[in-house]
Amino acid sequence: MKSIAELLSLRYQYENLIENLEIPSDKKNGHINNLIWFRNNGYIKNRFRKGYDESVHICNTILDSYYKRE
């Protein structure tokens, strides 16, 4: 399980990576619902773009940690 500091660092990295991806502007912050949206829909226009694979990995890491805390 990741610490809060690690999760905030990952969120910052995630938000920097998705700046170069095609995502609706209302989905570009690191809120849990937007992370879930990205995990489920982000591949549609982005799967071949630079940074997509890393952003998915970070997204999944954050979500996994979030659901383990509940």
pLDDT digits (tens, 9 = 90+) for 13-49: 999 999 999 999 898 887 899 999 999 999 999 999 9
> Which pLDDT value is given to residue 54?
97
pTM: 0.90
Rg (CA), the chain: 11
How many residues are listed for the chain in this entry? 70
> Which pLDDT value is given to residue 66?
87
> Which pLDDT value is given to residue 46?
97
Task: Tell me how far apart the alpha carbons of residues 8 and 12 are, in angstroms, rounded to a whole number.
Answer: 6
The DSSP code for 29 is: S
Nearest Cα residue to 46 out of 27, 63, 67, 65: 27
> Which pLDDT value is given to residue 65?
92
Cα–Cα distance list, 48 to 13, 54, 61 (Å): 19, 12, 21
Binning pLDDT at 50, 70 and 90, where does residue 70 land?
A: low
